[in-house]
């Protein structure tokens, strides 16, 4: 749902853990989809959801 949600990477400052998901642009709530451990995970997430380009990171 590209009109209401945008892909984001939620990154923890403490442990560097990154989780890919979708942020509701109206409420700011992030729906976590998958843990990103490396570039291959990120590529899989982007391919799964047809995402091109960079994904914004949030801390």
17 strand-pairing partners = none
pLDDT at 52 > cutoff 90: yes
pLDDT digits (tens, 9 = 90+) for 12-32: 988 889 999 999 999 999 999
- Give the pLDDT score at 16: 86
At 2, the pLDDT band (50, 70, 90 cuts) reads confident
Sheet with strand 30-36: strands edge to edge: 30-36, 18-24, 5-11, 56-58
Mean residue pLDDT across the chain: 95
Kindly provide the b/e burial profile for residues 3-13, where b requires at least 16 CB atoms within 10 angstroms of the residue's own CB. eebebbbbeee
Specify the residue for token string 């959801």.
Answer: 49
């Amino acid at each position: 749902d590209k009109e209401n949600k945008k892909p984001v990477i939620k990154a923890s400052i403490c442990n560097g853990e990154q989780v890919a998901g979708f942020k509701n642009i109206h409420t700011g709530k992030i729906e976590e989809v998958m843990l990103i451990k490396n570039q291959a995970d990120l590529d899989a997430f982007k391919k799964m959801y047809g995402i091109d380009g960079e994904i914004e990171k949030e801390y």
